[in-house]
């Protein structure tokens, strides 16, 4: 018997996923939970073959839930199903032990195909997530060590022509935080503009 757990705090989305999964004759049992904590408590009674896991949950995050349970129950496969598509979220989820990564809005047929792909040893990902993974693997300009990891991300955003607002949204931080990091970068390189700092960094290193 193949069983699936759904961990999703949005009631409407959770009910829709239940309906989709119950349409598949090869999925014999579906249980759903509105929090990572409730899911973890259930594991003493119910060990699913696969978990469709949101990561933006109230309380414990989905990533933390995967981290805590994967070592104890290595046979459970995790397929992330979320709105979050940043490099950090993707990398953290996969590093925690997720097998695949789907974005909400994925068609129901694709969700079912992905579940069976995981069951058969595959690692499904939404196309935009797969592109992000390719980008992460590409060689990048080496930025100066004096920049923090976050400053390096912001410099890369500036280089790509992103606005402060777009950088903030991409990394899920406030515009104020972006401005604070940029002031720090300007101070480190003794410059006063985007053009100056990009020229100084990418022409000198």
- What is the model's pLDDT at position 199? 82
Measured from the Cβ of residue 38, the count of other Cβ atoms closer than 10 Å reads 14
Given this model, what pLDDT does residue 136 score?
61
- Residue-wise pLDDT tens digits, 91-119: 889 889 999 999 999 999 999 999 999 99
pLDDT(75) > 60? yes
Could you tell me where the DSSP H helices lie in the chain?
A: 11-22, 36-42, 62-69, 87-96, 108-119, 127-137, 149-159, 164-171, 175-189, 194-204
Query: Fold match between 3-135 and 149-204?
Result: no
105 dihedral zone (left: phi>0; alpha: psi -120 to 50; beta) = left
Could you name the CATH architecture of 3-135?
3-Layer(aba) Sandwich (3.40)
Residue % of the chain over a pLDDT of 90 = 62
So where are the chain's domains?
Answer: 3-135, 149-204
Question: What number does CATH give the domain 149-204?
Answer: 1.10.10.10
- pLDDT at position 138, please? 54
pTM of the model: 0.65
Residue 205: per-residue pLDDT: 46
The four Cα atoms 176, 182, 185, 189 give a dihedral, to 10 degrees, of -140
State pLDDT tens for residues 25-65: 999 999 999 999 999 999 999 999 999 999 999 999 999 99
Q: Which long-range contacts (CB under 8 A, 24 or more apart) does 101-108 make?
A: 101/125, 101/126, 101/129, 102/126, 102/129, 103/128, 103/129, 104/13, 106/81, 108/20, 108/23
């Amino acid at each position: 018997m193949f069983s699936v757990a759904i961990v999703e705090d949005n009631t409407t989305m959770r009910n829709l996923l239940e309906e989709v999964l119950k349409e598949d004759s090869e999925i014999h049992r579906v249980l759903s939970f509105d929090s990572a904590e409730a899911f973890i408590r259930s594991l003493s009674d119910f060990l699913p073959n696969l978990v469709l896991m949101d990561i933006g949950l109230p309380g414990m995050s989905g990533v933390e839930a995967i981290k805590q349970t994967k070592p104890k129950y290595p046979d459970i496969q995790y397929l992330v199903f979320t709105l979050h598509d940043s490099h950090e979220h993707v990398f953290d989820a996969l590093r925690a032990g997720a097998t695949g990564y789907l974005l909400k809005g994925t068609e129901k047929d694709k969700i079912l195909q992905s579940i069976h792909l995981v069951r058969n040893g595959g690692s499904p990902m939404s196309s935009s997530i797969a592109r992000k993974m390719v980008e992460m693997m590409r060689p990048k300009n080496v930025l100066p060590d004096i920049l923090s990891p976050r400053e390096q991300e912001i410099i890369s955003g500036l280089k790509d022509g992103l606005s402060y607002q777009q950088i903030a949204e991409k990394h899920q931080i406030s515009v104020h935080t972006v401005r604070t990091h940029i002031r720090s970068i300007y101070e480190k390189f003794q410059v006063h503009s985007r053009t100056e700092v990009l020229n100084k960094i990418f022409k000198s290193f």
